[in-house]
Amino acid sequence: MGVTIHDVARAAGVSVASASRALSGRRKVTPEIAERVSRAAAELGYQPNAVAKALRDRTTGTIGMIVPGIGNPFFTTIVEAVEHQLQETGRDLLLCASQYRPDVEARRLETLLARRVDGLIISPCDIEASVPAVLNAARRVPLVQVDRYIEGGGADWVGVDDDSALAQAVEHVAAGGARVVTFVGSRLMNSSARSRLSGFERAAARAGVNATAPLLGEFTLEWGIEAGRLLLDGDTMPDAVVCGNDEIAVGLVRALRTGGVRVPDDVSVVGFDDVGHAAMCDPPLTTVRQPVEEMAAEAVRLLGQVRVSDPRPAQRVAIAPRLVVRETSRPVAAGGANGMGKGRGTA
């Protein structure tokens, strides 16, 4: 182990400079030298040392990525798409999980910076607590936020257009006859939670439906189930529920059905993400599909645009999602509201 370019040069009977030039092909060398060098390299099993090259070039060909949790299917999908984009351009992915904790996030940011990544893609775990570390990192290296972002708008971002997303969801259930609709999401510690809720409220106002008090917990199946029970125990059951993600929606549907409420006959449920098993759960979930591939491509593209030295206004790219209608929502009502807004169905 450890055949260097010096060894290759010696074996080929040329200088290291010629060997380097021949190997990289970026400068002219006589065909004969090129031949001798590549033969020597092959015989010795030479493999360039990317670390040395990185030190010399001040470029590692490496992108750091930090997501709250790798296990979350939504982030997994983004990671996969980003990795794919990077492969196209010959770069590699240094992946970290912040475990939803701003302190570990800050630490990971430091080590990634120490490794001299060429850029950073991050989904900050906390809209407030993540601010200093993210802003500091953005000052040192091209950085783009994906999905979640920090408050204040100091760094580039690419994500889904939550307003459009919630508008589609609300209009869809309204068209199905819903008059009273509830939003079930997550507590407002991250940007997605916030913008989805406000998107929902705006959309509800615009569509003229009655938005009841939102139920806010976690982005988990468990919370979906609990929210379902809360609805069951409350005195009015909405005509439709719009959820902050698919996990919540699946849990909610389950709890509702267990409680004797029919979905979609009694209440329509709409999810968010369309990642993982939304299509394969039973019944298949009506949900808003995040344009993950586009988001990843855009993030990688943006990374190439950013010049840390010459700060321009932070870019915000919101990609319009698409509502995917499946079987947890009522189809468009024939003649407006169908009159069964209040009251619980008898299963």
Is the bond into 264 cis (omega within 30 degrees of 0)?
A: yes
| Count of positions on this chain that bind DNA (CB under 7 A) | 28
Nearest-angstrom CA–CA distance, 191 and 5: 50
Our finding on whether 309 is near DNA (CB under 7 A) is no
Is 314 among the residues that bind a copy of itself (CB under 8 A)? no
Q: Which of 10, 101, 116, 202 binds a copy of itself (CB under 8 A)?
A: 116
Q: Considering only residues 25, 39, 53, 151, which one is a binding residue for DNA as defined by CB under 7 A?
A: 53
Rounded Cα gap, residues 241 and 279, in angstroms: 18
Dist CA 17 CA 224 (whole Å): 64
The 8-class DSSP code of residue 116 comes to: T
- Binding residue (CB under 7 A) for DNA from 25, 39, 42, 55: 55
- Partner that binds at residue 35, options DNA, a copy of itself, none, CB closer than 5 to 8 Å by kind: none
284 lies in the site for DNA, by CB under 7 A: no
Residue closer to a copy of itself by CB (options 63, 169) is 63
Residue from 33, 67, 109, 242 in contact with DNA (CB under 7 A) = 33
| 317, β-bridge pairs | 158
Kindly state the smallest distance separating residue 115's Cβ from DNA, in Å: 12
CA separation for the pair 175, 180 (Å, rounded): 12
Residue 83, interface with a copy of itself (CB under 8 A)?
Answer: yes
Q: Record the tokens describing residue 102, joined without a space.
A: 């701003």
Nearer to a copy of itself, 15 or 87 (CB): 87
> Which of 56/312 has CB closer to DNA?
56
Q: What is the DSSP string of 230-298?
A: HHHHSS---SEEEESSHHHHHHHHHHHHHTT--TTTT-EEEEEE--TTTTTSSSPPEEEEP-HHHHHHH
Of residues 190, 186, 197, 128, the one with CA closest to residue 162: 197
Least Å distance between CB 12 and a copy of itself? 20
- Measured between alpha carbons, how far is 289 from 301 in angstroms, rounded to an integer? 21
Q: Is 90 in the site for DNA (CB under 7 A)?
A: no
* Span 128-187, contacts to a copy of itself by CB under 8 A: 140
| Omega before 331 within 30 of 0, i.e. cis | no
Which strand (E) or helix (H) includes residue 163? helix 162-175
- Give the integer Cα–Cα distance in Å for 322 and 53: 44
Over the window 215 to 244, marking each residue x when it contacts a copy of itself by CB under 8 A and - when it does not, the resulting string is: ------x-----------------------
Say how many residues touch a copy of itself, by CB under 8 A.
48
- SS3 of 149, please? coil
56 contacts DNA (rule: CB under 7 A): yes
Residue placing its CB nearer to a copy of itself in the complex, 62 or 182: 62
Q: How far is the CB of 282 from a copy of itself (least distance, A)?
A: 5
30 binding DNA? (CB under 7 A): yes
Amino acid making up residue 151: E
Query: Considering the rule CB under 7 A, would residue 32 count as an interface residue with DNA?
Result: yes
CA 24, CA 322: separation in Å to the nearest integer?
45
Interaction site with DNA (CB under 7 A): 2, 4-6, 14-18, 20-21, 23-24, 26-30, 32-33, 48-49, 52-53, 55-58
Interaction site with a copy of itself (CB under 8 A): 1, 47-52, 54-55, 60, 62, 69-71, 73, 76-77, 79-80, 83-84, 87, 90, 92-97, 104, 110-116, 140, 221, 250-251, 254, 276-277, 280-282, 308
